[in-house]
Amino acid sequence: MTATAVPERNRPRSGGGLPPLQLTRGQRLRKTGTDTLVLTRRNFRHMVRDPFEPIIAITMPLVVVLLFGYVFGDVMAPPGTENYREFLVPAMLTMVMLYGIGGTASGIARDTARDVMSRFRSMPMSPVALLSARALADMARACLEVALLLLVGFAMGWRFEDGAGNALAAVGVLLLFRLALVWLGVLMGLVLPTADSVSMVVYPLTFPLSMLSTSFIPSTAMPDWLAPVTEWNPISMVVTATRDLFGNPSLPSDAWPAENALLMAVVVPVALMLLVTPLAVRRFRRISR
Amino acid sequence: MSHTTPAIRAEGLRKSYGATRALDGLDLTVRAGTVFGLLGPNGAGKTTAVRVLATLLRPDSGRASVAGYDVLAQADRVRTRIGLTGQYASVDELLTGRENLLMFGRLYGLDAAGADERARSLLERFDLVGAADRRADGYSGGMRRRLDLAVSLIQEPGVLFLDEPTTGLDPRSRLQVWESVRALTASGTTVLLTTQYLEEADQLADAVAVIDHGRVIAEGTPDALKSQVGGDRLDVVVRDPADLAATARLLGDAVSAPASVHREEQRVSVPAEDRMEALTRAVRALDGSGLRVEDVGVRRPSLDEVFLGLTGSTATDHENDRERTQEVSR
């Protein structure tokens, strides 16, 4: 029996426009597109209905900044920074981008748990839509977070001082950083066994990482052996580049990464993405084959 | 596809996980439009078989076709013809019943209007209209399973896989699921159902295959299987283990058949060809015997006894074997 011999009468007759059995390349691409949108919408619903993780991810940096800005500020402000709160806002934005990785990883871990994944894979859908929908929803969330935190920044007295063009570029740097972390988060979600294990790994890892950067204190205030770690920390690069583009006070530093912060804030995330995206896709193919 | 083409055909399926052979040359033929029960204890290979047939798992060797398509070479096409309900309801808990059906409808390839119409009719059919706009995490086990079943029927599949559809359900929900499965066959869907319960296979299946260690050890109609195994059993549970031997003798004499003793459960079991007669005789014999009895009951043969009849060892023995082997290897 050849495949084409299957009569169409065996297809469901109900209305609703079920797709033909065999899709052309273009139809398949369109299906991936609609599947992505359908799942993105679901991901938004998840964020709204189970808001614990997104709320923690945005309030932690907010609390840190409010504490540093209004409580410890006078002690912590590095000499030469006139407005420590303006100095903090780019750090807060970067920190929120970083913490988003927890949501990405746990979302992917939930979607690829065996029973859920079995249902998706037994259907004529495009499995890769699970990844693209996750990326799309999380980037949309990142845009919302940036907008929200800039408003908080305004309320704290923060301003961008170097023109709207550069301010937009600063937002671009932050979102590029987040995009790289989305793919790192996808990989983590595929590797870690459960969504619960994600939060056990992500926060203990990201919190020290954001502290061991020039987000809050200059590297000169660190022990000698730690200073280079701080300077080469990608978070420092993103924070410094964002400060420069916003025209906010930055730290005087003659370290190479600080002097080339913008370059590094583009190169490092792109390199990270080139590294982790193929790994994530390969891992995903293995479990979705 | 002619009517003689089976809806499911598997030949010599093998799948190993390390040293464990989950499937060891499994052969199956399921006629279109029938309900086929795959019966076996935990770890017999039921779920692995379903996963291979539903295109989720590649077998090490062997071949299978579902709805006329090869599960390996034509997996995409198989997926347009099947529905799957796993052991654990895999609906989206944060979405409402309706939102679940709409989302999966779109993913199955329906357009927005089509998904809406399909959701409406499935909610009605599975008696979920009242709960349609409540989140699935607030559903009872039975409702969740019904929603899961509804999702797997969105594309009106020619072949439906139900992997232990009633495990963990209370009796009332179980009956509701059975009702739904019966209604399905009326519409011509082929159903492959895995279960650990002989009664479930008996209630729903036109044909049954008993599998153990990844291969079919018996096949036929539920009636044929039962006659192979023997009829109903009468059980007596005693209060004092010391009374087990005396009770076995007494009951064996009363129904003129050999009694088996299950020491751990303090239970004696005898065949009960005629339920009422066996019960009357047993109670009469026990009355005034001085033996202290906890419970008396007549029941259908269990999967254990099917296994005893077919293989000479019980399903629980299999597990005990495993435990013992582990203890020895320690």
Which tens digits make up the pLDDT trace of A205-224?
888 898 889 888 888 888 88
| Residue B88 Cα distances to A79, A243, A257, angstroms | 60, 50, 51
Does residue A156 sit within a domain? yes
* pLDDT above 50 (res A7): no
* pLDDT above 70 (res B327): no
Q: Which residues of A touch B56 (CB under 8 A)?
A: 118, 121-122
Does residue A4 sit within a domain? no
In chain B the domains, ranked by start, together with CATH numbers, are 8-226 (3.40.50.300), 232-299 (3.30.70.100)
> What's the CA gap between A125 and B69, in Å, rounded?
18
Does residue A20 sit within a domain? no
Does residue A143 sit within a domain? yes
Does residue A19 sit within a domain? no
Range scoring the smallest mean pLDDT among B98-102, B146-150, B268-272: B268-272
Mean pLDDT of B198-224: 88
* pLDDT above 60 (res B317): no
Tokens 């944060």 belong to B94
Q: What is the pLDDT of residue A190?
A: 95
Tokens 């599975």 belong to B126
Length of chain B measured in residues: 330
B328 — pLDDT class (breaks 50, 70, 90): very low
> What's the CA gap between B202 and B198, in Å, rounded?
6
Residues B36-47 have pLDDT tens digits of 999 988 888 999
| Residue B324 Cα distances to A280, B22, B266, angstroms | 42, 20, 22
Kindly tell me the burial class for residue B95, based on how many C-beta atoms sit within 10 Å of its own C-beta (0-12, 13-18, 19 or more).
Answer: buried
Q: Which residues of B touch A50 (CB under 8 A)?
A: 94
Q: Do B92 and A42 touch (CB under 8 A)?
A: yes
* pLDDT above 80 (res B170): yes
Q: Do A16 and B151 touch (CB under 8 A)?
A: no
Q: What is the pLDDT of residue B290?
A: 86
In this complex, which of B68, B86, B108 lies closest to A1 when CB atoms are compared? B68
ipTM field:
0.85
Structure tokens that stand for A62 in this block: 């907010």
Q: Do A6 and B68 touch (CB under 8 A)?
A: yes
**Between B23 and A25, where is the model more confident?**
B23
C-alpha distance across the termini of chain A, in Å: 26
The count of other CB atoms within 10 Å of the CB of residue A110 is 19
> What's the CA gap between B37 and B206, in Å, rounded?
8
Name the average pLDDT for chain A. Answer: 87
Structure tokens that stand for A80 in this block: 């030469």
Residues A103-147 have pLDDT tens digits of 999 999 999 888 888 899 999 998 899 999 999 999 999 999 999
Does residue A32 sit within a domain? yes
Q: What is the pLDDT of residue B91?
A: 92
> What's the CA gap between B68 and A4, in Å, rounded?
11
Q: How many alpha carbons fall within 13 Å on the CB side of residue B186? A: 6
Mean pLDDT of B158-178: 89
Does residue A173 sit within a domain? yes
Does residue A17 sit within a domain? no
The H-assigned helical ranges of chain A are: 25-49, 52-70, 73-76, 84-111, 114-121, 129-156, 163-191, 195-211, 227-232, 234-246, 256-259, 261-288
Residue B39 · residue B198 · CB < 8 Å: yes
Q: How many alpha carbons fall within 13 Å on the CB side of residue B265? A: 11
Sheet holding B8-17: strands in order across?
Answer: B20-30, B8-17, B61-66, B69-70
> How many domains does chain A contain in total?
1
Range of the domain at A74: 26-288
**Between B237 and B90, where is the model more confident?**
B237
